[in-house]
């Protein structure tokens, strides 16, 4: 049986996520201007700082206190190689610092990202950029907002008019990198240009507020996109698997475009990569 939550409950999830984003942003701002202790995870490009871990611990502890019956998935507490326990229960999916490499290198483009799913469907998304103090919020069926002002995607239908975003990713498998490079070549040949801000969350914020028309990425994780999926959908964009099928949040890949026509055009250009599952 599907899990039932009230509209009041979902609004409460949104308010709690905003509260935690603001508190986490204070920690991120303070740490940004200090020397950082940096460790690697899977390889030299997959980085983590003590701030990532501290924020995740604080946020999940607060959520467990407020919602003891809910489930929680966090980037830094995910067990390497083990699939996430993703159920119909209300689930909070957290990336404490999306754009850790930017954070480490003194680039202010990084974000706190927190999404909530119910029945495996994203229903709340909060993305907070602490340096410019910019808060993106969305609730399923209620629109997308930036600092309280409603935002909408810049809807176009032709790839020749699109600014497309994608990231290099943290993986360093040679075959994956080659396929990704070939895909970017196909897109660049046909589109107005490519952009990479170093953070999936920020890329999706750009699309939601009309500063780009598409995003495609393989080799990412559910915590990279859970919040952003709600935001771009509520801003009017289409979200799907890069193959053209429906989005599977655990599939580690996503295609977002500001119209279904545009999404289908981009999908047809791509050589698809299977990255396993979260």
| Phi, psi of 260, rounded to the nearest 5 degrees | -65, -35
Helices (DSSP H) in the chain: which residue ranges? Answer: 7-32, 50-66, 100-104, 174-190, 200-208, 222-234, 260-269
Its sign, for the CA torsion 208, 74, 40, 46, is negative
Residue of 56, 76, 98, 203 marked catalytic: 98
Residue of 100, 117, 137, 238 marked catalytic: 100
- 127 as an active site residue: the answer is no
Residue of 213, 224, 234, 278 marked catalytic: 224
- 224 as an active site residue: the answer is yes
DSSP E strands in 32-120: the ranges are 38-40, 47-49, 71-74, 91-98, 111-118
CA distances from 83 to 15, 72, 228 (A): 29, 13, 21
CA 54, CA 27: separation in Å to the nearest integer?
A: 9
CA distances from 142 to 77, 124, 134, 234, 271 (A): 31, 10, 19, 7, 35
CA 211, CA 165: separation in Å to the nearest integer?
A: 10
**Helices 50-66 + 7-32 axis angle, to 10:** 160
- 100 as an active site residue: the answer is yes
Joined tokens for residue 23: 């508190």
Residue of 75, 167, 203, 234 marked catalytic: 75
- 173 as an active site residue: the answer is no
Residue of 60, 97, 151, 202 marked catalytic: 97
Joined tokens for residue 90: 């209300």
Residue of 52, 76, 95, 278 marked catalytic: 95
User: Any idea which residues carry the catalytic annotation?
Assistant: 75, 95, 97-98, 100, 224
């Amino acid at each position: 049986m599907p899990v039932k939550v009230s509209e009041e409950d979902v609004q409460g999830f949104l308010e709690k996520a905003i509260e935690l984003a603001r508190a986490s942003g204070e920690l991120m701002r303070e740490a940004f201007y200090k020397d950082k202790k940096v460790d690697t995870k899977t390889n030299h490009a997959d980085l983590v700082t003590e701030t990532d871990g501290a924020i995740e611990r604080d946020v999940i502890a607060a959520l467990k206190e407020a919602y003891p019956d809910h489930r929680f998935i966090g980037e830094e507490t995910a067990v390497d190689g083990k699939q996430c326990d993703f159920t119909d229960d209300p689930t909070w999916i957290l990336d404490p610092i999306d754009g850790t490499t930017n954070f480490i290198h003194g680039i202010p483009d990084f974000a706190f990202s927190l999404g909530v799913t119910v029945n495996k469907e994203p229903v709340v998304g909060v993305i907070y950029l602490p340096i410019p103090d910019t808060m993106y919020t969305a609730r399923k069926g209620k629109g997308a907002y930036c600092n309280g002002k409603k935002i909408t995607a810049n809807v176009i239908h032709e790839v020749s008019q699109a600014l497309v975003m994608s990231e290099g990713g943290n993986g360093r498998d040679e075959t994956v990198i080659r396929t990704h490079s070939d895909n970017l070549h196909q897109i660049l040949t046909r589109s107005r240009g490519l952009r990479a801000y170093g953070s999936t969350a920020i890329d999706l914020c750009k699309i939601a507020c009309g500063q780009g028309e598409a995003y495609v990425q393989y080799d990412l994780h559910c915590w990279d996109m859970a919040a952003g999926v709600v935001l771009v959908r509520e801003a009017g964009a289409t979200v799907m698997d890069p193959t053209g099928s429906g989005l599977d949040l655990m599939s580690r890949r996503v295609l977002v475009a500001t119209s279904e026509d545009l999404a289908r055009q981009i999908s047809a250009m791509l050589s698809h990569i299977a990255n396993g599952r979260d």
